[in-house]
């Protein structure tokens, strides 16, 4: 969520509208210690193939997999990742 709000602000768009859209269309949950471990392991695995894959991306992907969801993104770090749907 922070990445999206940051991008919206940098583009001088309406952050309140973006926040509302995220909150309306997303499932928000708190991370556990196990979630952090899982994201770290996933980060190490994906980063070995895609050197620019970030830790925040690993948290997003790990959470999506845990929820049985897809990551909807335009972020090229998710290209060729099965659980991601690339938006243009």
Structure confidence by residue, pLDDT tens digits, 28-81:
888 899 999 999 999 999 999 889 999 999 999 999 999 999 999 999 999 889
**Together in a domain, 43 and 19:** no
User: Which residue range(s) make up the domain with 3?
Assistant: 1-28
**Together in a domain, 55 and 73:** yes
| pLDDT for position 26 | 83
Tokens of 4: 């999206």
**Together in a domain, 55 and 79:** yes
**Together in a domain, 21 and 45:** no
**Together in a domain, 19 and 37:** no
| pLDDT for position 60 | 93
CA–CA distance from 68 to each of 50, 59, 84, 87 (Å)?
Answer: 23, 14, 11, 19
Element (H, E) at 20: helix 15-25
**Together in a domain, 55 and 85:** yes
Task: Give yes or no for residue 1 having a pLDDT over 90.
Answer: no
**Together in a domain, 21 and 62:** no
Give residue 86's pLDDT band: very low, low, confident or very high (50, 70, 90): very high
| pTM for this entry | 0.75
């Amino acid at each position: 969520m922070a990445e999206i709000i940051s991008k919206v602000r940098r583009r001088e768009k309406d952050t309140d509208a973006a926040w509302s859209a995220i909150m309306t269309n997303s499932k928000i949950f708190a991370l556990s210690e196990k979630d952090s471990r899982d994201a770290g392991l996933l980060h190490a695995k994906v980063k070995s193939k895609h050197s620019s894959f970030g830790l925040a991306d690993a948290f997003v992907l790990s959470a999506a997999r845990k929820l049985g969801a897809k990551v909807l993104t335009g972020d090229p770090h998710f290209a060729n990742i099965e659980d991601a749907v690339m938006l243009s």
